[in-house]
């Protein structure tokens, strides 16, 4: 956790996809049901409007990921298409699913792992690479949960590495990981131990990435502007303040107060602003330019992600693991995402974004933006869901397309749907394949990247 006086801010990002050929050529997923063929089908990259990525985001991706302009644009499209393919395969493989990840400078290769040899042909049929492994993602997650309950500051980070089909435990002193495995009865064969010299800490210190101050002293960063009914505000990190903590903006003008906060356990909070502040659908990009936010679809491992914070500004990297657990001196938080993006004190609470999709808010990390580092973000969708918040997004409402059923059913704009959730719309049933906050224009029949018809 990186501390600036008292606290700091963080943010998040996300995106979704369909399917991808191993050659790097983007393919369009087949309709989930023959009755859908009469309806217009949007690819994931079209749904998430990756072609409209702002120049500032593309420039930062080129700088931090070593990409050419063509690779940066292709990467966003490939990530979008691959995300939905991975989500569909996870639902199809069930208990045999062992993770998915992207490789290549332009994210042109999607690999999906399974414990069942019979699945490899169907994985390859989608254009993805198949990898047969010995342990399922569910088995490794179960083992990690046992370690999380007993972890101390000596083993500050634990996560499942799908590429290695292993559970990784970072230790800050010799023998700490071995002691944790012994205390929990965990099979050492499941675990890879990594020695680390630095322990993560919260990045202490209504546009995403802008500074705000708590009780007139400590500084954090705005995550994502939101609304709750008629109230404007923003999502941020829980370690930045507790319910009742007052805030002032980047200009030191009275801003609002924390309405709810959780830390440790999770690292989430939201601030309600006063009538002088209005939520915008933007994150502060390179040079202070506005980067538009259009949704909250979480991207897969290997996808690019950029962070905005009030200390170090705009930096990019890649998503390394989801559902990571981190033990700070203040306690353990679970369900955060590990990234290669750098951060420093004061960046806490700030925005992580992939393409135009909000991913989460900065929780903590190690290293810095001179030598490089590792950071963790609290995913945004759980914050929105927990507090009943609506992400401020751009775009106009296109309405239902030609041939779509009339609206109706249990689907509701503003609701946060996790992968696997089911809804009805226009007389049909749909299963969510990628977690996101629903919005008008993203009705199930017109976004096969997010919903599969049953």
Considering the candidates 267, 279, 286, 315, report the single residue annotated as catalytic. 267
Q: Give buried/exposed letters for 369-391 (b at 16+ CB in 10 A, else e).
A: beeebbbbbbbbbbbbebbebbb
Assess contact for 436 and 381: CB atoms under 8 A: yes
For residue 265, what is the DSSP state? B
Q: How many CB atoms lie within 10 A of CB 428?
A: 17
Task: Identify whether 386 is a catalytic site residue.
Answer: no
Give the whole-angstrom CA distance, residue 400 versus residue 377: 34
**% helix / strand / coil in the chain, to the nearest 5?**
25, 35, 45
Question: In which residue are the tokens 């994931």 written?
Answer: 44
Assess contact for 362 and 347: CB atoms under 8 A: yes
CB burial class (10 A; 0-12, 13-18, 19+) of residue 227?
A: middle
Give the whole-angstrom CA distance, residue 422 versus residue 414: 15
Taking each helix axis from N to C end, the angle separating 69-93 and 55-65, rounded to the nearest 10 degrees, works out to: 90
Give the whole-angstrom CA distance, residue 278 versus residue 128: 44
Q: How many CB atoms lie within 10 A of CB 101?
A: 25
Q: What pairing do the DSSP bridges indicate for beta strands 304-309 and 436-437?
A: unpaired
How far separated are the first and last CA of the chain, in Å rounded? 44
Question: In which residue are the tokens 């991913």 written?
Answer: 359
Q: Bridge partners of 358? A: 353
Give the whole-angstrom CA distance, residue 375 versus residue 377: 7
Considering the candidates 348, 354, 356, 366, report the single residue annotated as catalytic. 348
Considering the candidates 78, 239, 315, 436, report the single residue annotated as catalytic. 239
Give the whole-angstrom CA distance, residue 296 versus residue 394: 12
Task: Identify whether 239 is a catalytic site residue.
Answer: yes
Task: Identify whether 267 is a catalytic site residue.
Answer: yes
Give the whole-angstrom CA distance, residue 108 versus residue 85: 13
Q: Which positions are catalytic?
A: 239, 267, 348
């Amino acid at each position: 956790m990186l501390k600036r006086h008292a606290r700091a801010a963080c943010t998040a990002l996300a995106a979704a996809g369909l399917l991808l050929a191993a050659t790097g050529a983007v393919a369009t997923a087949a309709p989930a049901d023959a009755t859908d063929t009469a309806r217009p089908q949007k690819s994931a990259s079209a749904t998430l409007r990756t072609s409209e990525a702002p120049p500032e985001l593309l420039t930062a991706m080129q700088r931090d990921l070593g990409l050419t302009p063509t690779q940066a644009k292709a990467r966003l499209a490939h990530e979008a298409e691959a995300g939905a393919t991975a989500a569909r395969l996870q639902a199809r493989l069930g208990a045999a699913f062992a993770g998915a990840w992207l490789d290549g400078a332009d994210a042109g290769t999607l690999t999906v792992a399974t414990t069942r040899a019979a699945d490899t042909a169907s994985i390859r049929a989608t254009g993805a690479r198949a990898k047969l492994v010995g342990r399922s993602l569910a088995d490794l997650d179960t083992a990690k949960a046992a370690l999380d309950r007993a972890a101390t500051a000596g083993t500050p980070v634990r996560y499942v590495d799908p590429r290695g089909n292993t559970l990784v435990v970072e230790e800050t002193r010799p023998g700490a990981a071995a002691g944790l495995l012994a205390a929990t009865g965990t099979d050492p064969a499941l675990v890879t131990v990594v020695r680390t010299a630095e322990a993560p800490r919260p990045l202490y210190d209504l546009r995403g990435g802008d500074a705000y101050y708590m009780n007139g002293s400590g500084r954090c960063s705005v995550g994502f502007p939101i609304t709750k009914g008629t109230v404007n505000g923003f999502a941020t990190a829980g370690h930045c303040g507790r319910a009742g903590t007052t805030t002032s903006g980047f200009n030191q003008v009275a801003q609002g107060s924390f309405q709810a906060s959780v830390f440790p356990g999770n690292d989430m909070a939201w601030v309600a602003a006063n009538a002088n502040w209005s939520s915008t659908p933007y994150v502060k990009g390179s040079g202070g330019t506005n980067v538009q936010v259009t949704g909250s679809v979480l991207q897969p491992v290997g996808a690019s992600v950029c962070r905005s914070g009030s200390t170090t500004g705009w930096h990019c990297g890649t998503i390394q693991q989801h559902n990571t657990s981190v033990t700070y001196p203040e306690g353990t938080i679970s369900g955060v995402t590990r990234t290669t993006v750098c951060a420093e004190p004061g960046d806490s609470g700030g925005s992580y974004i992939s393409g135009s999709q909000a991913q989460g808010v900065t929780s903590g990390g190690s290293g810095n933006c001179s030598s490089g580092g590792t950071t963790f973000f609290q995913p945004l969708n759980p914050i929105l869901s927990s507090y009943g918040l609506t992400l401020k997004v751009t775009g106009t409402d296109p309405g239902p397309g030609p041939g779509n059923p009339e609206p109706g059913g249990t689907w509701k704009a503003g609701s946060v749907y996790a992968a696997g959730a089911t809804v009805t719309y226009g007389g049909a049933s749909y299963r969510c394949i990628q977690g996101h906050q629903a919005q008008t224009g993203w009705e199930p029949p017109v976004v096969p990247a997010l919903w599969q018809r049953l």
